[in-house]
Structure 1
């Protein structure tokens, strides 16, 4: 992301945060002043007396400074972009921010909101290791290999005439997970997509998206992105294989469902889809987040703090049950209602579907239910198993695999994942 957009968007988000904090503090003062007991109905409206006036003044000053900053930052944008070019470490931070509050960024048209695009990872022409001059923490360096350059192929073709771009008739499309971007497919010097593309003779294309938006909204956009990509591809596309990691698997399922509903021609070219660590039936971590937020509403003294829980993006709340369709979340408030409203969304026929799940357990248990999760996704959810028969995804037994003694993010750098995907997708 360009430096000008980063600074402009960050300033907007800071001003939004000041307004939010002022509302929380005013709400707590109002409730404590009006409610003599720790339980009861929380009052509404501004805080009484001088407190209400002070918070109104704070919001007014914040709005004035916001407007002045917009005018001041506008002429600096091009200068900043020229002398402070973007790099992979910055992209990782912006991607994480989009996962946490990307729905808010999109609604407020904040420049930090990531637009969806399909991209290629190309080696730098000069052979340098990175376009970023600053030194990043070693933990971030382990997440992705910054030696490769991410170049947009659709909707803006930025590689036309680039000798590094080789278009085959077989596409391998990869969708990343929550709070991530396409560079983070490379972990511990390993990239499942690039390895499979090399052995399978296909072109790897990486999806970049705002993971804070609803999964179904991203799924629709993904479906139409693939349509545009196939139409603009310089070679006739013969086959499409898709790999989704974590949330990326749910977005892939959503896109397949949309393509089927709209009879998009590219769906007939999809031969195989692999889901790696995908919470098909939700993540226990988000269910815990819901109950933490709800616990703050039990007393009017702490009720304003529940706003902090609502910072969880639409994408994160979709992970509670594994929503993939609009109907799964529309017509109810996911921050207030914990019920599972998911409609049936079976895996499309005529496609081979594969699933890899992980567990922190070191060895098999008497039943899959007794296994530990991978830290985020339980193996039952990762393999599409559900106590209700109609919600089972029914992966073929030979098309499922469980990795033991490995965490969720560690799957990205695990050679066993590469080997299993190559066995299934390349043969």
Structure 2
């Protein structure tokens, strides 16, 4: 990401203005169509709205061009707050930013931390996040999974960042290509590869496995944390709301906005594909209640994903952690012992029975 991000942000802001005007215009048109003299009103109104959009586009082009001419300004992603904002923006509009070639579209890439070993652990974040999301509450928890767990078992942490607004299968194809490059260019021969996905990240990992590649044969472990294998309630509710809004012409434009990005739409159903053969698979579900059987835990799960969906894969170790919300799973000391054992390929029967 470069300093042209600020110019792209200005372009997007004014483009958003134009989109809002268009939405208001469509609502106006739908309402006017039900009134006498609609044809004449529509011609006049469309002309006014077109003029407003045209002025907005000219101003937007001028601001964006001025920023670029002045050197582009500071990079939006230079700060943690900027990275968070761009990650959220990509989750909501990332497919569009990607198609437009916007400087705000997050390219898929990765960062390596710690000493290089033959056993990389690849962390894949969820919707509206970035690779920095795994550092949530690091000061409070005395570090991250990378420092508390991965380093201790003699493996190397690799944090992937990607555009979560792009469809899951497309991101899976990109991740597969990235992992092929990682294995080919790793400084030492890769003897074992572990994949840890949070939320949407678990679906992207499954989609990547369907693409195949030399990297698949190196995978020894996968872990999904709060992954909506069978879909996420909020995405499903949004899908129902979109269909309801589309029933009336006056509300249809609002449904187009609520429909969200391709990535969000892919969370409605989740992904049901075979797991990587020969690897050990583990799925963690969280509930805000201590017990998964508590009425609150059954109804809201971890606030975003229900237990049945997070555990919606076969031939995997299924674990529940209580008093956790969806984002607690990004860095929870309560999972350290299990992650340590899974990444070391140890038997966790006693740990699970004790829990």
Contact 1:244 1:252 in 2 (8 A): yes
Sort the Cα spacing of 1:371 and 1:363 in 2 relative to 1 into closer, same or farther, 3 A.
farther
- Unaligned ranges ≥5, structure 1: 38-42, 122-164, 324-343, 385-392
Residue 315 (structure 2) pairs with residue 395 (structure 1): yes
What's the CA shift for 1:370? 4.4
Contact 1:26 1:47 in 2 (8 A): no
- Aligned counterpart in structure 2 of residue 362 of structure 1, from 282, 286, 290: 290
Of residues 234-243 and 69-78 in structure 1, the stretch that sits farther from structure 2 once superposed is 69-78
Distance 2:7 2:98 in 1: 14
Tell me, what secondary structure is at the counterpart of 1:120? strand
Sort the Cα spacing of 1:297 and 1:265 in 2 relative to 1 into closer, same or farther, 3 A.
closer
Distance 1:282 1:191 in 2: 28
Contact 2:292 2:320 in 1 (8 A): no
Q: Paired residue for 1:407? A: 325
Q: Paired residue for 1:57? A: 51
After TM superposition, list the pairs within 5 Å mapping 1:4-23 onto structure 2. Answer: 4-23=3-22
Q: Paired residue for 1:249? A: 202
Distance 1:112 1:47 in 2: 39
Task: String of CA shifts for 1:193-248, please: whole Å, max 9, x gaps.
Answer: 33222111111111000011001111000001011111111111111111111111
- Unaligned ranges ≥5, structure 2: 347-355
- Aligned counterpart in structure 2 of residue 210 of structure 1, from 151, 160, 163: 163
Q: Paired residue for 2:180? A: 227
Contact 2:289 2:296 in 1 (8 A): no
Contact 2:289 2:297 in 1 (8 A): no
After TM superposition, list the pairs within 5 Å mapping 1:104-115 onto structure 2. Answer: 104-115=96-107
Tell me, what secondary structure is at the counterpart of 1:199? coil
Task: String of CA shifts for 1:369-399, please: whole Å, max 9, x gaps.
Answer: 9464110111111011xxxxxxxx3134xx1
What's the CA shift for 1:46? 11
What's the CA shift for 1:420? 1.9
Distance 2:40 2:77 in 1: 45
Task: String of CA shifts for 1:11-47, please: whole Å, max 9, x gaps.
Answer: 121122122111111112211111159xxxxx9x996
- Aligned counterpart in structure 2 of residue 169 of structure 1, from 115, 118, 132: 118
Sort the Cα spacing of 1:371 and 1:403 in 2 relative to 1 into closer, same or farther, 3 A.
farther
- Aligned counterpart in structure 2 of residue 266 of structure 1, from 215, 220, 233: 215
Distance 1:18 1:424 in 2: 49
Sort the Cα spacing of 1:46 and 1:416 in 2 relative to 1 into closer, same or farther, 3 A.
farther
Residue 349 (structure 2) pairs with residue 350 (structure 1): no
Distance 1:47 1:16 in 2: 26
What's the CA shift for 1:9? 1.5
What's the CA shift for 1:57? 0.7
Distance 2:26 2:202 in 1: 40
- Aligned counterpart in structure 2 of residue 89 of structure 1, from 59, 68, 81: 81
Sort the Cα spacing of 1:47 and 1:24 in 2 relative to 1 into closer, same or farther, 3 A.
farther
- Aligned counterpart in structure 1 of residue 131 of structure 2, from 182, 202, 210: 182
Number of aligned pairs?
340
Structure with the higher fraction of residues in helix conformation: 2
What's the CA shift for 1:368? 12
Sort the Cα spacing of 1:47 and 1:109 in 2 relative to 1 into closer, same or farther, 3 A.
farther
Distance 1:195 1:268 in 2: 27
Task: String of CA shifts for 1:66-117, please: whole Å, max 9, x gaps.
Answer: 3333432222235x349x9812221111111111111111111111100000
Contact 1:360 1:407 in 2 (8 A): yes
Sort the Cα spacing of 1:91 and 1:366 in 2 relative to 1 into closer, same or farther, 3 A.
closer
With the length of structure 2 as denominator, give the TM-score of the two structures. Answer: 0.89
Contact 2:8 2:64 in 1 (8 A): no
